Amino acid sequence: MMRRTARGLALLAALHGALLFAPPLSWPLWLVRFTAIETSLAPFVTGLVAVMLTRERWVSVLGALGLVAGITPALSAIPAYLRNDQAFSLVDWFTGTAPEWTSVQRDVPMGEGVSADIWAGAGPGPHPAVFVVHGGSWRSGDKGEAAHVSAAMAEAGYTVFDLRYRLAEEHPWPAGTEDVRCALAAAAAESARFGVDPARFAVLGRSAGGQLALDAAWTAGPACGLPVPALRAVVSLYGVTDLAWAHDHPYEPDVVDGIAATELYMRGTPEEARERYDLASPLFRARADRPPTLLVHGLWERCVRPDNSERLAAALEQRGAPVRLLLIPFAEHGFDIRPGGIGEQLSRGVLLDFLDQHLAGG
């Protein structure tokens, strides 16, 4: 029985470890790989147990391979944790522990076609506010993405406006950007009702929402007939920053059909709509007077290349704008969706530090 158990555990550990490095050839296989990465400590445990239970050489080798593969993502993240003064919780990784927050208003209108779930910040107000913009290749997705991160921000004293905006194909660029700006303007206009301080607003976006967050933060003028307050900070997690370049440099295979999504959003190819592509690309709008910017990207990406964040960080830095770049080894697209993951814990800690630095206080 023990021999059979050791063999089964060794095979399971080796297979799981192999999936960490297997190229995703389709969307279903990408999901399998994503799951393998986010549970990467499992083959470490099963491989270790297999090695301890067996004397068979081939079983030991398989178990050791799974063990090494499984511990690699955690070990590779140690320098990033140390550089950013963050601590990793093994308990949170295994349990998926996430903050719980019950003070939430659902589906609050924030302008024509725009609504939000509002997570009331802890403690006495008025609170600084963070406006969250979901991903989904501009054509899908909805508010409620990574709710545990919104709960963590609310628990830290930030009121969170988790936005639902209009989607392509019916509403291509710049509709989504204007929706975010309308929500900012509406919240500022009714700041007393929402208990927020319009002088301390930030925008956070994921994936396509990262492009929308940067675009909204860097667009001047009123929205929905109301003034839009100046932002204190902007955060893009694995967002597109140069739409034409991203269109022309997809991963192969393009498991998220990013080329078609971009053309739908921009109403044409880069050759057909170059001016729109450039106007919608934050990379070409980097200036010294931009608000402090946090860019977060995984280095194990197969959806949006990390070059997007790296190139924008370099452009902002070159112009003297305050920018912070966090690159996370072995983190895939959407790594922060899973509570307690290696990348999620790191990015959540850095995010809260960044918000405290730029939004806390008067």
- How many other CB atoms sit within 10 Å of the CB of residue 70? 24
CB 237 within 8 A of CB 296: yes
Judge whether residue 97 has pLDDT over 80.
no
Q: What is the pLDDT of residues 2-39, one digit of tens each?
A: 788 998 999 999 999 999 999 999 999 999 999 999 99
DSSP letters, 254-307, are -TT-HHHHHHHHHTS-TTTSHHHHHHH-GGGG--TTSPPEEEEEETT-SSS-TH
Alpha carbon distance 203, 194 (integer Å): 17
Tell me what pLDDT residue 98 has.
75
Asked if residue 361 has pLDDT above 80, the reply is: no
Domain architecture of the chain: domains with CATH: 2-75 (no CATH), 95-359 (3.40.50.1820)
Strand bridging mode 159-164 / 127-133: parallel
**170, burial (CB in 10 Å: exposed 0-12, middle 13-18, buried 19+):** exposed
Residue 147 pLDDT greater than 80, yes or no:
yes
Q: Tell which residue, 128, 127, 88, 126, has the closest CA to residue 340.
A: 88
Average pLDDT, the chain: 95
- Cβ neighbours, 10 Å, residue 40: 23
pLDDT tens digits, one per residue of 267-283 = 999 999 999 999 999 99
Stretch 213-219: mean pLDDT? 97
- 224-240 confidence digits (pLDDT tens): 999 999 999 999 999 99
Q: What is the pLDDT of residue 362?
A: 61
pLDDT score recorded for residue 102: 80
- Residue 100: the pLDDT is 78
Instruction: Answer whether residue 85 shows pLDDT above 90.
Output: yes
Give the model's pLDDT for residue 353: 98
